[in-house]
Amino acid sequence: MLRTTLLALALGTTALPAFADEINIYSHRQPELIQPLIDAFTAETGITVNVAFVDKGMAERLVAEGDRSPADLVLTVDIARLMQVVEAGVTQPVQSDVLEANIPETLRDPGDQWFGLTTRARIVYASIDRVQPGEITTYEDLADPKWAGRICTRSGLNDYNIALLSAVIAHHGEEAAKTWVEGLKANLARKPDGGDRDQVQAIAAGECDIAIGNTYYIGQMLADPEQKAAAEAVRIDFPVFEGDGVHLNISGIAMTKSAPNHDAALKFMEWLSGDAAQQVYAETNNEYPVKPGVARSALVAGWGEFTPDSIGLTEIASHRAAALRIMEEVNFDG
């Protein structure tokens, strides 16, 4: 009988089990988002996939475990999280013609340490009733006083918002980015709270008119009978940076330096970049596939086309420390 073991671990004290044909993964992605992929891969290959959900301290855990680590792969969201693991020295380069063919050069590490698997846009949720199409067109506009008391967002220290601020720094420099985030804070309708889906609920409840969020959460909410009405009360708008494009981030994968099951792990990496897995990402998670030629879901395609930001993800990730410092200096969540 095929086995998929899903372990939700908050701490690093529990060891993953070992089987003959297996892969052990440390994942920052929520289990429900990757389970369909795991099920499909195991059904096709017979390889058991064991997943430990590691919400925080993934790099520190791998450093502490060293060569004894059972983990073969790390799956995570946000380019900065991937870079943290790589910079901790706990990953290894992976040379693969399949990965090079399936994943565009801009979405993989030049040194072959990490590989993007999906992209998502950080965009604006707008009230259909209270915000007209075209009212907000740029990220810079979020700091305009005309939005005073009308914006909701999750914590400024959340990875997605830190990445967005990192992109602001990349475009405009630290001083301008601090001014921007101060303006954004001044426009908040309430203190940052909850996740992206909570911001949609707040718009539907009339607590704010626009919010910052990731595209795929709308797809998740529309598929949930209890959240569908709230999702239908908002519209997705794609703001751009002035003179550039829409801010994107990724989910991605890297192989650990220890990787006790190297060959099976490589097989999983390559499979995740292929047509079948990319279609699952598109249809099940409403994310944007990275492999050229794989169609978006009908829902995502209906949101429209956009031009991605031209600044590379590695450069954006390099500004993470400055973005964290600025968020703390302005006490964004306070």
Residue 10's pLDDT is what? Answer: 32
Q: Which fold has domain 4-119+249-294?
A: D-Maltodextrin-Binding Protein; domain 2 (3.40.190)
- Residue 130: CA count within 13 A, CB half-sphere: 17
Residue 16's pLDDT is what? Answer: 45
Which part of the chain has CATH 3.40.190.10? 4-119+249-294, 120-247+306-329
* Distance (Å, whole) CA 250 – CA 123: 14
Residue 19's pLDDT is what? Answer: 44
Helix or strand run (H / E) with residue 125? strand 115-127
* Token pair 């569908």 in the structure block, residue: 228
Beta bridge partners of 188: 151
Supply the pTM of this predicted model.
0.88
Given the DSSP bridges, would you call strands 234-237 and 115-127 parallel, antiparallel or unpaired?
antiparallel
- 81-84 — which CB contacts under 8 Å span 24+ positions? 81/28, 81/159, 82/114, 82/250, 82/252, 82/254, 82/317, 83/114, 83/314, 83/317, 83/318, 83/320, 84/58, 84/59
Whether the pLDDT of residue 160 is over 80: the answer is yes
Confidence of residue 293 (pLDDT cuts 50, 70, 90): very high
Whether the pLDDT of residue 61 is over 70: the answer is yes
Whether the pLDDT of residue 326 is over 90: the answer is yes
For 120-247+306-329, give the CATH class: alpha beta
Helix or strand run (H / E) with residue 82? helix 79-87
* Token pair 């302005």 in the structure block, residue: 330
Residue 242's pLDDT is what? Answer: 97
CB-based burial, 165-198: b 16+ in 10 Å, e otherwise: bbbbbbbbeeeebbbbbebbbebbbeebeeebbb
- CB contact at 8 A, 269 and 117: no
Residue 92's pLDDT is what? Answer: 98
- CB contact at 8 A, 265 and 23: yes
More confident residue, 184 or 35: 184
Beta bridge partners of 250: 119
